[in-house]
Structure 1
Amino acid sequence: MHRSYRTFLGAAAVAAIAATVVSIAAVPASGTASAADEQPSAVESYSYPGADAILASDHVQLISGDGHILYKPCPVPETAGLIIVRSTDRIGSAGTGKVCFEVTGTVGHLVLKIPNVYAIRGDGSSGSAGHKLTAQLTTDTGAHTTVDVNPNGDTQVGIATTPPGDATTLLQLDASR
Structure 2
Amino acid sequence: MRRLNRTFLGTAAIAAVAVAVVSIATVPASGAASAADEQPSAVESYIYPGADAVLASDRVQLISGDGHILYKPCPSPETPGLIIVRSTDRIGSASTGKLCFEVTAATGHLTLKIPNVYAIRGDGTSSAAGHKLKAQLTTDAGAHTTVDVNPNGDTQVGIATTPPGDATTLLQLDASR
Q: For residue 25 of structure 2, what is the aligned residue in structure 1?
A: 21
Change (3 A) 1:16 1:66: farther
User: Which consecutive residues of structure 2, in runs of 5 or more, have no partner in the other structure?
Assistant: 1-8, 29-33
Residue identity (%): 81
| Distance in 1 (alpha carbons) for counterparts of 2:175 and 2:101 | 11
Matches within 5 A, 1:43-54: 43-54=43-54
Q: For residue 92 of structure 1, what is the aligned residue in structure 2?
A: 92
**SS in structure 2 at match of 1:52:** helix
RMSD, matched Cα:
2.3
Q: For residue 30 of structure 1, what is the aligned residue in structure 2?
A: none
Change (3 A) 1:17 1:93: same
- The runs of at least 4 aligned residues of structure 1 exceeding 4 Å deviation read 10-16, 35-39
TM-score scaled by length of structure 1: 0.84
- Residues 17-49 of structure 1 show CA distances to partners (whole Å, capped at 9, x for unaligned) of 33322235xxxxxxxx6x777653221110000
2:76 is matched by which residue type in structure 1?
Answer: V
| Distance in 2 (alpha carbons) for counterparts of 1:140 and 1:90 | 19
- Residues 77-101 of structure 1 show CA distances to partners (whole Å, capped at 9, x for unaligned) of 0011100000000010000000000
Q: For residue 175 of structure 2, what is the aligned residue in structure 1?
A: 175
| Distance in 1 (alpha carbons) for counterparts of 2:92 and 2:81 | 18
| Distance in 2 (alpha carbons) for counterparts of 1:14 and 1:43 | 40
User: Which consecutive residues of structure 1, in runs of 5 or more, have no partner in the other structure?
Assistant: 1-5, 25-32
TM-score scaled by length of structure 2: 0.84
**SS in structure 1 at match of 2:27:** helix
Please state how far the C-alpha of 1:62 moved relative to its aligned partner: 0.2
Change (3 A) 1:20 1:154: same
**SS in structure 2 at match of 1:56:** helix
| Distance in 1 (alpha carbons) for counterparts of 2:20 and 2:151 | 65
| Distance in 2 (alpha carbons) for counterparts of 1:80 and 1:109 | 20
Please state how far the C-alpha of 1:169 moved relative to its aligned partner: 0.3
| Distance in 1 (alpha carbons) for counterparts of 2:54 and 2:36 | 28
